[in-house]
Amino acid sequence: MAQEYPLDPKWYEIIGEIGSGVSAMVYKAKCLKISAPNSSSIVAIKSIDLDQSRADLESIRLETKTMSLLSHPNILRAHCSFTVGRRLWVVMPFMSSGSLQSIISSNFSSGLPEPCIAVVLKETLKALSYLHDQGHVHRDVKAGNILVGYDGVVKLGDFGVSAPVYDINFDSRLKEIAGTPYWMAPEVIHSHNGYGFKADIWSFGITALELAHGRPPLSHLPPSKSLLFKITKRFRFSDYDNESSDNTRKHNTRKFSKAFKDMVGLCLHQDPTKRPTADKLLKHVFFKNSKSCDFLVKNLLVGLPSVEERFKMSNYNSNNNKMIRVSNSSLGSSSYNSSTTTPTIEEDETGVFEKQRRVSGWNFNFDGFQMEPVYPLGLGQGHPDGSKRVRFRAELVIPNKRVDLDVFSSSSASPSPAFSTPTEEQEAVVRVEEDPYLDPDPDPEGEEGVVDRGSVMCGLVALRGSLDDQRKNVKELISFLGGEQSLGGETKEEQMVDVVERLRGELEQERRKNKELLMELEFLKVIVSGGPQDD
Ligand SMILES: Nc1ncnc2c1ncn2[C@@H]1O[C@H](COP(=O)(O)OP(=O)(O)OP(=O)(O)O)[C@@H](O)[C@H]1O
């Protein structure tokens, strides 16, 4: 019979650090009380800072107890857990190859070979299928929580351990896990009505992309608390372009099977009800010829540095490359994110206006094997970026110069309640340029390259008249497309201006009336006093 693991820290000798998470440190340790051959004395201890975790100790205890009742070969079950001051120690089996995330960062930065991915995902699915059958949602499926043993055994861990599991309040949970939002299903982000097993299937799909590309989609963005909201509301176009061209470059060198892409596509369906269950996914053709765990030993684990060495290396690299790795902080951590070259979203807020477009979610692109932004009006309507875009163009000809004035108006109405406030973006570009087809400078005496002020003014005045008409058209169009305007086509600002104008008129009238009354009064005074006396 297996020996019981002691509930006292004095029985554990810490060998070294092997990992760190949002509010925890993970250590390799030796249990001094275990000596039986069928119980390993080498363990992993996850030490969770309870002050960082939003859950109360009672709910943690309850959760740990529930989890201890689960038993499956692909689930990493804790030996025991107990508190040490303000920390919770969770003693678990030591998985000597560490997590898939640490394997990827160390040896497979561009992603794992597809046959290895098939093995890992199949084993993870078995764990999910069991968990879901037992009525549990894991809520934190990602490569960092899939652990591999020396023998290639794959286990899903970090449930009943990770902070998110303890947070029953959705809002607090949202804040808590905002540090690593990349794996979160759309319904987890948008809905306040909760979510179910299918959220795990989405995260499973994102994990598949993470294993294939070496990082989850959007992971080049900083995992700040507000990122979660920013990703869904405003996403900088240039970042997406960079990301997609980066990905395209990678994808050109890596080919994935149709079966793999199809399986991932099913998991990443926006509508959770359309995603398959874990059970059904297990029957997908992608897993049909999946290899055994031995295959992982030969193709994944051979030549891999120990988990301790990898952790040391990742810390060293983090410091050298200024990687954002914030442990014991509310920001969360991400080993994927680098602060070196990529501008942050915060920087974006002060960036160029035209680079910002509204995104309502993310869709899986089958051919590109990546996530792509969804625009509120849907792709293919109007401008290729999905927004209804109308371009008004006015042209002003000045001798030897052409002044182009472009007015763009793009308006979007979102079908999603999370984005029910439509936006209008307008942009005006005035360009003065040499026109080789126009007459050469009619005034050879004139200063070269200097536009005549009088002509420009004259032209601009004419242009203003035409712009007023265009403005009216734009207003109507925005209103038609579901903008924030009133039925009359006026913005709130314009309505305010109208009110102020009206009040100003009334004031003016009052003033005039007062003046007349004063004059009448003066006149009456003169009458009463007998009028001007004639000598
Ligand atoms: N039982 C274990 N055996 C061996 N290594 C482990 C074990 N548990 C965790 N680790 C190592 O420690 C690292 C950090 O684990 P931890 O669960 O704290 O972080 P995470 O899952 O990446 O982050 P988060 O706190 O966001 O869940 C893992 O990536 C893994 O390499």
Catalytic residue among 140, 158, 167, 239: 140
Task: Tell me, yes or no, whether 352 lies in a domain.
Answer: no
**Pocket perturbation via mutation, ligand 1, pick of 12, 15, 18, 328 by most ligand atoms within 8 A of CB:** 18
Going through 135-232 in order, the beta strands assigned E by DSSP cover 146-148, 154-156
Instruction: Calculate the alpha carbon distances from 142 to 93, 201, 228 in Å.
Output: 19, 11, 17
Task: Tell me, yes or no, whether 39 lies in a domain.
Answer: yes
User: What pLDDT is attached to residue 282?
Assistant: 97
Based on its alpha-carbon atoms, the radius of gyration of the chain, rounded to whole angstroms, reads 33
Give the 3-state secondary structure of residue 84.
strand
Domain count of the fold of the chain: 3
**Pocket perturbation via mutation, ligand 1, pick of 5, 23, 26 by most ligand atoms within 8 A of CB:** 26
User: What pLDDT is attached to residue 56?
Assistant: 63
Rounded Cα–Cα distance for residues 22 and 358 (Å):
30
Residue 291 shares a structural domain with residue 203: yes
Residue 17 shares a structural domain with residue 143: no
Residue 312 annotated in ligand binding: no
Residue 109 shares a structural domain with residue 13: no
Residue 310 belongs to domain with CATH number: 1.10.510.10
Measure CA of the first residue to CA of the last residue in the chain; give whole Å. 136
Residue 121 shares a structural domain with residue 31: no
With a cut of 90, say whether residue 17 has pLDDT above it.
yes
Residue 183 shares a structural domain with residue 307: yes
Long-range Cβ contacts of 164-167 (<8 Å, 24+ apart)? 164/139, 164/140, 165/63, 165/139, 165/140, 166/53, 166/54, 166/55, 166/59, 166/60, 166/63, 167/54, 167/55
Task: Tell me, yes or no, whether 129 lies in a domain.
Answer: yes
Alpha helices in 28-181 (DSSP H): 57-68, 100-107, 114-133, 163-166, 170-176
Name which residue sits closest to atom 12 of ligand 1, judged by CA. 19
Rounded Cα–Cα distance for residues 166 and 54 (Å):
8
262 noted as active-site residue: no
Rounded Cα–Cα distance for residues 317 and 503 (Å):
66
Q: How far is the CA of 16 from the centre of ligand 1 (A)?
A: 14
Render pLDDT for 513-532 as a digit per residue (tens, 0 to 9): 888 888 878 877 777 776 55
Residue 472 shares a structural domain with residue 414: yes
With a cut of 90, say whether residue 305 has pLDDT above it.
yes
Ligand 1 atom closest to Cα of 25?
18
Last residue in a domain, options 41, 70, 93: 93
Rounded Cα–Cα distance for residues 418 and 139 (Å):
22
Q: How far is the CA of 336 from the centre of ligand 1 (A)?
A: 15
Rounded Cα–Cα distance for residues 300 and 293 (Å):
10
Residue 77 shares a structural domain with residue 112: no
User: What pLDDT is attached to residue 505?
Assistant: 84
Residues with CB under 6 A from ligand 1: 18-19, 21-22, 24, 26, 44, 46, 92, 94-95, 98-99, 101-102, 140, 144-145, 147, 157-158, 162, 180, 307
What token pair was written down for 509? 């009238």
With a cut of 70, say whether residue 98 has pLDDT above it.
yes
26-40, 100-114, 322-336, 457-471: least confident range: 322-336
Q: How far is the CA of 63 from the centre of ligand 1 (A)?
A: 19
Residue 53 shares a structural domain with residue 139: no
Local confidence band at 495 (pLDDT 50, 70, 90 cut-offs) = confident
Last residue in a domain, options 292, 322, 352: 322
Task: Tell me, yes or no, whether 467 lies in a domain.
Answer: yes
With a cut of 80, say whether residue 324 has pLDDT above it.
no
Between 510 and 82, whose confidence is greater? Answer: 82
Ligand 1 atom closest to Cα of 145?
21
DSSP assignment, residue 2? P
Between 103 and 426, whose confidence is greater? Answer: 103
Render pLDDT for 352-404 as a digit per residue (tens, 0 to 9): 333 333 344 567 777 777 776 655 443 333 333 433 333 333 344 444 444 44
- Give this prediction's pTM: 0.61
**Pocket perturbation via mutation, ligand 1, pick of 23, 99, 138, 328 by most ligand atoms within 8 A of CB:** 99
Task: Tell me, yes or no, whether 346 lies in a domain.
Answer: no
Instruction: Calculate the alpha carbon distances from 427 to 268, 390, 406, 474, 488 in Å.
Output: 35, 11, 8, 12, 23
Q: How far is the CA of 184 from the centre of ligand 1 (A)?
A: 19
Rounded Cα–Cα distance for residues 414 and 207 (Å):
29
Residue 34 belongs to domain with CATH number: 3.30.200.20
With a cut of 50, say whether residue 332 has pLDDT above it.
no
Q: What ipTM describes this predicted complex? A: 0.96
Between 505 and 57, whose confidence is greater? Answer: 505
Ligand 1 atom closest to Cα of 142?
21
Residue 49 shares a structural domain with residue 178: no
Residue 157 shares a structural domain with residue 260: yes
Local confidence band at 498 (pLDDT 50, 70, 90 cut-offs) = confident
Last residue in a domain, options 271, 305, 322: 322
User: What number is the average pLDDT over the span 112-135?
Assistant: 95
Name which residue sits closest to atom 22 of ligand 1, judged by CA. 144
Residue 84 shares a structural domain with residue 112: no
Length of the chain: 535
Ligand 1 atom closest to Cα of 22?
25
Mean pLDDT of the chain: 68
Give the 3-state secondary structure of residue 442.
coil
With a cut of 80, say whether residue 64 has pLDDT above it.
no
Residue 313 shares a structural domain with residue 455: no
Q: How far is the CA of 47 from the centre of ligand 1 (A)?
A: 11
Domain that holds residue 172: 98-232+255-322
With a cut of 90, say whether residue 264 has pLDDT above it.
yes
- Identity of the highest mean pLDDT range in 50-54, 347-351, 428-432: 50-54
302-311, 340-349, 505-514: least confident range: 340-349
Rounded Cα–Cα distance for residues 122 and 290 (Å):
8
Task: Tell me, yes or no, whether 366 lies in a domain.
Answer: no
User: What number is the average pLDDT over the span 450-471?
Assistant: 59
Render pLDDT for 166-222 as a digit per residue (tens, 0 to 9): 333 333 333 333 334 567 676 666 555 556 789 899 999 999 999 999 988 766 555
Rounded Cα–Cα distance for residues 145 and 156 (Å):
6
Percentage above 90 pLDDT, the chain: 29
- Identity of the highest mean pLDDT range in 80-84, 494-498, 507-511, 518-522: 80-84
With a cut of 90, say whether residue 313 has pLDDT above it.
no
Task: Tell me, yes or no, whether 351 lies in a domain.
Answer: no
User: What pLDDT is attached to residue 466?
Assistant: 59
